[in-house]
Amino acid sequence: MRIALALVAVLLIIGASLALVWRPAIETIDPPARQSFDPELVKRGRQLAAIGNCTDCHTVRGGEQLAGGMPVRTPFGTVYSTNITPDPETGIGHWSEAAFRRAMNSGVDRAGQHLYPTFPYDHFTHVTNQDDGALYAYLMTRRPVHAPARQNQLSFPFDQRPLIAAWKLLYLRHDEVRPDSSKNSEWNRGAYLVEGLAHCGACHTPRNAFGAERKEAAFGGGEADNWLAYAINVQSPAPVPWTEQALFTYLRRGWHPDHGVARGPMAQVVSNLSPVDADDVRAIATYVAGLFGSPASDRIRSAEAVRTEANKAPTAAPQTSASIFAPNAVSPATNTGAAIYAAACASCHETSRPLPYAGLNLHLSTAISAPDPRNAANTILYGLPALDDERSPIMPGFAPSMTDAQVGALLIYLRAHFGHEPAWSKVEQTVAQARQAQAAFLQTSADPPNIATEPLPRDKP
């Protein structure tokens, strides 16, 4: 604690002195006419915006597109995304391209204020001016929405924007992504996208006490919205090693027969990538496959064993004993867990129906071999909701029908039976936290859109 205070004090001093080196405002402009942008440029900007998840972070559930207000939770408090529609008053209508480029490059808004790195400009700084131009063209041709920014909820001293200057001094690097001539153009394109616009590390890299990515542990596993963003480097917990082809399929379609379905925040990433040029997704897969590295021979062997186990013809569901009905039976958690699995899960997860409409054989599941049970708990409690207007895998959620103790016992059994790593600790707490996180998520995200409702004639007096 004392060290943290001292550090804060040091940062305050650095911050205060840097605040003197303030950033100038950039002249306002009249909102440019839509027609002044080349439609081809706008189209490219749309794809780039999809790769950068701009819409997800700048739209509240059911709210107006890009009008901001999405809460981004950090250990220091909540930062709300801002309105990036071309509304002159509350959006970026008065921003010139230069002002937009500065925001992307160095996290400074038009008026010269430092922006919080929850806006991932530590990655966006690597985006080329040309791509920034396309993004700008895309944003400035959206429908302007009047939506004032929401007040951030940050504790002192983190509510002091000048402090961000110190953060940048320590952690913002502009020149990290340089083309590597020893690699082919696909790899280089992938590196440019992954490290820059796609900001995969923003979720998949662990962060330090100041909320900055720990570069020495790049892609070693991070988190997003109470989901574990698994390691996607040599430390990957996936039971079957990822290949370039598997990555391409997963990023493109949202699932792979050896790895299952992308859920939570990753489902959004994947759905954003679906309209993007296949070449760009292929490039991302190429680069990320390099991060995983080629698996050691013992990993290949254990993966083969896992596959064989998983492909065995579905066996009769594990035997359950009727004694579990006895109200006072003190059965070890694994017995209870096994009984629940056999009764509630096996019919979908050990079946001859193919993925993704059946569940993955859990021997293959990264959720079960991950360092903590968060993602498995989220999935059991809330399932996989049906997507609008799309065929999609569906799993019912068990939050209303299982107690924390039941989910806990189930998780302990799944880890012991299907996992390949030591037992998880604090399983029941994880379940309780998953329920709280979901409740908070539903409270802060807005209601789904109100499709023009018919008036209620009978309600009239």
Partner 1 sequence: MMILKVNGRDHQIEAEPDTPLLYVLRDDIKLNAAKYGCGLGQCGACTVMVDGKAVLSCVTPLVLLVGKQITTLEGLGTVDRPAPIQRAFMEEQAAQCGYCIPGMMMRAQALLQRNSKPTDQQIRSALAPHLCRCGTHMRILRAVHRAARMMREAGNSTAGHGSPS
- The CA–CA distances, whole Å, from 397 to 62, 212, 348, 377 equal 22, 34, 13, 10
**Cα dihedral 399, 401, 405, 406 in deg (nearest 10):** -110
Task: Confirm or reject binding of residue 348 to ligand HEC (CB under 6 A).
Answer: yes
SS3 for 228? strand
Q: Does 265 bind ligand HEC (CB under 6 A)?
A: yes
Report if residue 291 touches ligand HEC, rule: CB under 6 A. no
53/125 with CB nearer ligand HEC: 53
Distance CA(287)–CA(190), nearest Å, equals 5
Residue 87 corresponds to which tokens in the numbers above?
A: 């509304």
Q: Which residues in 310-369 contact partner 1 (CB under 8 A)?
A: 317, 320, 322, 324-325, 327, 339-340, 342-344, 348
395 touches partner 1 by CB under 8 A: yes
Contact of residue 201 among partner 1, ligand HEC, none (CB under 5-8 Å per partner type): none
User: What mask of x and - would describe binding to ligand HEC in positions 2 to 41, judged by CB under 6 A?
Assistant: ----------------------------------------
Question: Per rule CB under 6 A, is residue 85 in the interface with ligand HEC?
Answer: no
Please state the closest distance from residue 429 (CB atom) to ligand HEC, in A: 18
Q: Which stretch binds ligand HEC (CB under 6 A): 5-13, 19-27, 226-234, 437-445?
A: 226-234
| 122 in contact with ligand HEC (CB under 6 A) | no
Six-digit token pair at 118?
């929850």
By CB under 8 A, is residue 396 in contact with partner 1? yes
The DSSP secondary structure of 112-176, one letter per residue, reads SPBPPTTS-HHHHTTS-HHHHHHHHHHHHTSPP---PPPPPEE-TTTT-THHHHHHHHHH--SS-
List the single partner that 57 binds among partner 1, ligand HEC, none, CB under 5 to 8 Å by kind: ligand HEC
**3-class DSSP state for residue 358?**
coil
* Joined tokens for residue 298: 């013992």
Cα 84 from Cα 89, distance rounded (Å): 11
**What is the C-alpha separation between 459 and 246, in angstroms, rounded?**
55
3-state SS string over 289-352? HHHHCCCCHHHHHHHHHHHHHHHCCCCCCCCCCHHHHCCCCCCCHHHHHHHHHHHHHHHHHCCC
Size of the site for ligand HEC (CB under 6 A): 75
- Given partner 1, ligand HEC, none, residue 431, with its beta carbon under 5 to 8 Å by kind, binds none
Which of ligand HEC, partner 1, none has residue 109 at its interface (CB below 5 to 8 Å by kind)?
ligand HEC
Of the pair 219, 382, the CB lying nearest partner 1 is at 382
Task: State the binding partner of 205 from ligand HEC, partner 1, none, CB within 5 to 8 A by kind.
Answer: none
Contacting range for partner 1; rule: CB under 8 A; set: 110-118, 141-149, 237-245, 391-399 = 391-399
Which does residue 320 bind out of ligand HEC, partner 1, none, counting CB within 5 to 8 angstroms by kind? partner 1
Collapsed DSSP state (helix, strand, coil) of residue 227: strand
Q: Is 260 left (phi over 0), alpha (psi -120 to 50) or beta?
A: left
Binding positions for partner 1, 420-449, rule CB under 8 A: 447-449
Number of residues binding to partner 1, judged by CB under 8 A: 33
Smallest gap from Cβ 253 to ligand HEC, in A, equals 12
Longest dimension (CA), the chain: 77
Does 275 help bind partner 1 (rule: CB under 8 A)? no
Residue 133 or 356: which CB sits closer to ligand HEC? 356
Cβ-based nearer residue to ligand HEC, 1 or 364: 364
CA angle at 227 for the pair 432 and 366, rounded to the nearest 5°: 105
218 or 355: CB nearest ligand HEC: 355
Q: 316 burial class (0-12, 13-18, 19+ CB within 10 angstroms)? A: exposed
**262 vs 402 by CB, closer to partner 1:** 402
d(CA 282, CA 244): 8
3-state helix, strand, coil in the chain (%, to 5): 45, 5, 45
Could you list the residues that contact partner 1 (CB under 8 A)?
62, 317, 320, 322, 324-325, 327, 339-340, 342-344, 348, 383, 386, 394-396, 398, 400-402, 406, 447-451, 453-454, 456, 458-459
